[in-house]
Amino acid sequence: MKIYKLITVTESVLNAFKKLIPQLSSSCDLPTKDDLEAIVNSNNTLLFIAEEHNDILGTLSLVFNKIPTGDKVWIEDVVVDKAARGKGVGKKLIQFAIEYTTSKNIKKINLTSSPDRIAANKLYQKLGFIKRETNVYRLTIE
């Protein structure tokens, strides 16, 4: 299995995201080819792909924000296809993100995960992420 930074959005990449994103959220719109190309061409978000035998098994987004308190990095949208879970794919995606961030000399990586995501919370804790006490807020504009 290999992990790489996505550079070109092919039809098979688009189809993989159409399969993976509903396994992450049932309420969001599926990304279009234009959406994925905008991400790939952006300066601050990287899409990492886990692939084996030309099959895309999972993805992770790594988001870099430059703000007055420094460079912030967030892991977002981690998902592994149901058929490929429990084989270390998620772990390899996170490790790749950690190595990439380390190579940029950034020392902290942030993420959030709902407590009902049991596998994800276990995965993050196993790889050294420590739970922080903070309040996460969202305003939904009707």
Ligand X SMILES: CC(C)(COP(=O)(O)OP(=O)(O)OC[C@H]1O[C@@H](n2cnc3c(N)ncnc32)[C@H](O)[C@@H]1OP(=O)(O)O)[C@@H](O)C(=O)NCCC(=O)NCCS
91 binds ligand X (CB under 6 A): yes
Part in contact with ligand X (CB under 6 A); list of ranges 28-36, 101-109, 116-124, 134-142: 116-124
59 binds ligand X (CB under 6 A): no
Part in contact with ligand X (CB under 6 A); list of ranges 2-10, 11-19, 61-69, 118-126: 118-126
The least distance separating ligand X from the CB of residue 61, rounded to whole angstroms, comes to 11
22 binds ligand X (CB under 6 A): no
C-alpha closest to that of 93 among 105, 72, 79? 79
Amino acid at 3: I
28 binds ligand X (CB under 6 A): no
Amino acid at 65: N
**Near ligand X by CB under 6 A: residue from 1, 24, 40, 63:** 24
The helix (run of H) or strand (run of E) holding residue 58 is strand 55-67
The least distance separating ligand X from the CB of residue 107, rounded to whole angstroms, comes to 22
Instruction: Report the DSSP pairing between strands 55-67 and 45-52.
Output: antiparallel
Residues within window 71-90 making contact with ligand X, judged by CB under 6 A: 78-80, 85-90
The least distance separating ligand X from the CB of residue 122, rounded to whole angstroms, comes to 4
Q: What is the 3-state secondary structure (H, E, C) of 61-129?
A: EEEEEEECCEEEEEEEEEEECHHHCCCCHHHHHHHHHHHHHHHCCCCCCECCCCCCCHHHHHHHHHCCC
113 binds ligand X (CB under 6 A): yes
